[in-house]
Amino acid sequence: MLHIINKSPLTNCSLDSCLRVAQRGDILLIEDAVYAATTGNAFEGRVREAMGRFRIHVLQPDIEARGFAGRLIEGVLPVDYSGFVELTTTNKTCQSWL
């Protein structure tokens, strides 16, 4: 399953809920959720821990637009829009966390 999260973990509980409820799959962080994939943020430890259960992706244009391309957590996989589409087609189901 592909889990899509678009809200910052600092202002919304979507990422926290996903990590608590979901068991495995791919997580794609888009829009303001990309902050969770950067080093030095309050959720870095949770993201690193989740990498044992999930493959975590970040939308490259969103991370670049926020100026954090050089601060990705090691192991987080950047994808472009084509990669986003590929994730949606290779996963049987998608869940957007609101």
Which pLDDT score is estimated for 67? 96
What is the token pair recorded at 89? 């087609």
| Span 17-65, pLDDT tens digits | 999 999 999 999 999 999 999 999 999 999 999 999 999 999 999 999 9
The model's pTM = 0.96
Q: Which CATH number goes with the domain that contains 24?
A: 3.40.1260.10
What is the domain range of residue 88? 2-97
As a whole number of angstroms, the distance between CA 37 and CA 5 comes to 12
**Could you give the number of structural domains in the chain?**
1
The torsion angles phi and psi of 48, rounded to 5 degrees, stand at -60, -45
